[in-house]
Chain A
Amino acid sequence: MFSFNLQRSGSMKLAMAGLMTTTLLLSACGNNNAANNEAAATTAPAATTEATTAPAETAVEQTVTDAMGHKVTIPANPQRVLASYLEDYLVALGVTPVAQWSVTNGTMEYLAAELKDIPTISYDLPLEAVTSFAPDFTIVQSEGTVQNGLYDQLNKIAPTYVLGDEVSKDWRKSLLKIGELLNKTPEAEAAITAYDQKAADAKAKISAAIGDESVAILWLVSKSFFIVDETRSSGAVLYGDLGLKLPNLVTEIPAESRATWNPISLEKLSELTADHIILVNSDGADAAEVTDGAIWKGIPAVKAGNVHEFGRATSWLYSGPIANSKTIDDALSSLVK
């Protein structure tokens, strides 16, 4: 028998892969949606341009080595920073990016307020579009984004630093690294301290409210479910920083086969014993097709009415100081009654 059939169909992985890349992990695409978080209290200051001028007198040009071994010379005081998909960190450090990450049908909606007037750039960094923004420093999140010569071409437009998957899977390391690159180490450290304080407070409150009840984070997109484990985005926040208990289905996934987003079949989902479900619904009203079904309604947490639904515009699928801070706000509002 298949105790770990994580996929409704094998081809789902293919579809999943296609999906992930078209939407880059998150259908940030939304027009409607519920659960816009009202608690916008974040640790980070809103993006302001004056912040970039602050350390001007101490700044010098620095040469660093990035994750792929490139020697990168960062201008003394970068004014036009492009860091697609890393906007969260820039905003947290008080740096305004020249353009913001986007897919064909959306952006990082949870940052909509902070990035209100920032033009968008496609996730795959079309070279001419990059050139048109005339960045003076580019940060790229993953080695995979710049394979096959793209790095060299980006580097011709502006010095380009590849953060690398090793660093970028840990938001604290990413923030410190970006802070270091942009001469904003104090700001980065302050943001982390503030976040840790906030997390500690929230942890106490939540543990008082629900004890050691387990919480599952499910992402519903195109009528398929993905379960979030403890290594990424909101999973790292809930299970790591807030110390919540992992649900049975995540602990059953062998560690080596855990992906960022583990697809989970409805059939397997019927065995979910978690006490609470955080449902990140990217399907909007179409979700009813699944959530009205007998199987979804038969899940214990659903029967008990412990489903907390969040829409596409929330930060649950993202990672970064601001995203995580907003995730904590949402967790508090839904788990602490």
Chain B
Amino acid sequence: MNRTLSVPSVKSRRTREAGILTLLAALIVIIFIVSMNTGFMRLSPLDVLHTLLGEGTKQQKLILFDFRLPRIVISLLIGAGFAVSGSILQGLSRNALAEPSTLGINAGAGFAVLIFISFVPATTAGPIFVLPLLALAGAALTATLIYFLSYRRADGLSPTRLILIGIAVGAGIYAFQLILSLRLDPQNYQFVAIWLAGKIWGGDWRFVLALLPWILILLPFAFYKARVLNVLNLGDETSKGLGLPLERERLLLLAAAVALAGACVSVSGGIGFVGLIAPHLARRLVGPRHQIMLPAAALIGALLLLTADSIGRWILQPTEIPTGIVVAIIGAPYFLYLLAKSKA
């Protein structure tokens, strides 16, 4: 394996990887700052600085600490979450086109949240912490369904079939969503419609808190399992030969990917393509080793979503474009480009 390569090349690769990660982090910081300055109220960079140092007016503090910052943090967390979820799914299925939305997992999570919203009146306080759990349940159910539908005794789990079935199940869930949303009253319908379009609506620290545990546990878990993903990529035979308990590891990783996607969907609604693009770019920048590829993908995902969210807020002021729409318009062409290039 790569380890056996000569020392200087490992060293130069390490430097390069570190450089890229630093660069990504720097870009995030820059967009972070720009995003803090973006919005309906004009806050100059100087105002932002003053406010950060605790010298702003009450209004400025409110806008920065209570409205803009939580949303920025949520964008970062969701972007990283979708990206890592997509990376794991791509690693598991050995298919470059896998991601939570093509596999129908986002749709399942969304559907669970939609059911909850339709039957629990909007006035009930505190569904915020319930939503990730619900979305998780929906995502897990869908993943199980897709798994069983695409599993065949003869040739096991074919990656292409997995994706096709994922698309079909997604379409089916969409049909049920349509029927169900007809029964919602307009207020709730509006909420659901915007949420399904992928608008980050939880502009509140409590949403950060609801999401944070999932990210804090699952991201390090994925990084910890990076080696397993590397081995899985070598193919089933090799993995078995290397003494890996194949099915157990696969199931664990799949569960982590589904949980990440579910938790993110519960806060952000259906945002596709992030989980697809981020791993790809990461692989191009730092190569396929998951130890470095996963953190890079997480950073790229965070960067992508933060940028999309800032564009969505900025481009049509004061109207906001749901982040999901921005991501789709940026992401779909990239997806098509990958598709045209791929050999699968």
Asked if A and B touch directly (CB within 8 angstroms), the answer is yes
A144 & B182 in contact (Cβ 8 Å cutoff): no
A16: min CB distance to chain B, Å: 7
A13 to B193, CA, bound (A): 13
Contact with B along A236-269 (1 / 0, CB 8 A): 0000000000000000000000000000000000
B181 & A129 in contact (Cβ 8 Å cutoff): no
A16 to B189, CA, bound (A): 10
A10 to B207, CA, bound (A): 35
A149 & B123 in contact (Cβ 8 Å cutoff): no
A17 & B189 in contact (Cβ 8 Å cutoff): yes
B62 & A156 in contact (Cβ 8 Å cutoff): yes
A131 to B202, CA, bound (A): 18
Query: Which stretch from A120-128, A222-230, A290-298 is at the chain B interface?
Result: A120-128
163-221 of chain B: CB within 8 A of chain A:
178, 181-182, 184-191, 193, 201-204, 206-207
Partner of B66, one of A129, A142, A153: A153
B121: min CB distance to chain A, Å: 8
Q: Does A51 contact B (CB under 8 A)?
A: no
Q: Does A147 contact B (CB under 8 A)?
A: yes
Q: Does B9 contact A (CB under 8 A)?
A: no
122-143 of chain B: CB within 8 A of chain A:
122-123, 125, 127-128
Q: Does B154 contact A (CB under 8 A)?
A: no
B51: min CB distance to chain A, Å: 13
Which of the four size classes fits the interface of chain B? 35 or more
A94: min CB distance to chain B, Å: 28
Q: Does A286 contact B (CB under 8 A)?
A: no
- The interface residues of chain A lying within 8 Å CB-to-CB of B203 are 127, 149, 153
A14 & B178 in contact (Cβ 8 Å cutoff): yes
Residues of A in contact, count (CB < 8 Å): 30
Q: A13-B182, A14-B181, A156-B62 are in contact. Are A129 and B40 (CB under 8 A)?
A: yes
B42 nearest CB neighbor, chain A only: A132
- The interface residues of chain A lying within 8 Å CB-to-CB of B207 are 149
A128 to B36, CA, bound (A): 12
Q: Does A304 contact B (CB under 8 A)?
A: no
- The interface residues of chain B lying within 8 Å CB-to-CB of A68 are 123, 125
Partner of B187, one of A122, A145, A156: A145
Q: Does B159 contact A (CB under 8 A)?
A: no
B170: min CB distance to chain A, Å: 19
Q: Does A148 contact B (CB under 8 A)?
A: yes
A10 to B66, CA, bound (A): 41
- The interface residues of chain A lying within 8 Å CB-to-CB of B127 are 148
B201 & A148 in contact (Cβ 8 Å cutoff): yes
Q: Does A194 contact B (CB under 8 A)?
A: no
Partner of A21, one of B186, B201, B204: B186
B189 & A126 in contact (Cβ 8 Å cutoff): no
B318 & A122 in contact (Cβ 8 Å cutoff): yes
Q: Does A201 contact B (CB under 8 A)?
A: no
A143 & B40 in contact (Cβ 8 Å cutoff): no
* 20 interchain pairs, CB-CB under 8 A: A13-B182, A14-B182, A17-B193, A18-B193, A20-B186, A122-B319, A127-B63, A127-B67, A128-B40, A128-B41, A128-B63, A128-B67, A131-B41, A131-B59, A131-B63, A143-B123, A144-B122, A149-B204, A149-B207, A152-B204
Q: Contact residues of A with B, CB < 8 Å?
A: 10-11, 13-14, 16-18, 20-21, 68, 104, 122, 126-129, 131-132, 134, 142-145, 147-149, 152-153, 156-157
Q: Contact residues of B with A, CB < 8 Å?
A: 39-41, 59, 62-63, 66-67, 121-123, 125, 127-128, 178, 181-182, 184-191, 193, 201-204, 206-207, 318-320
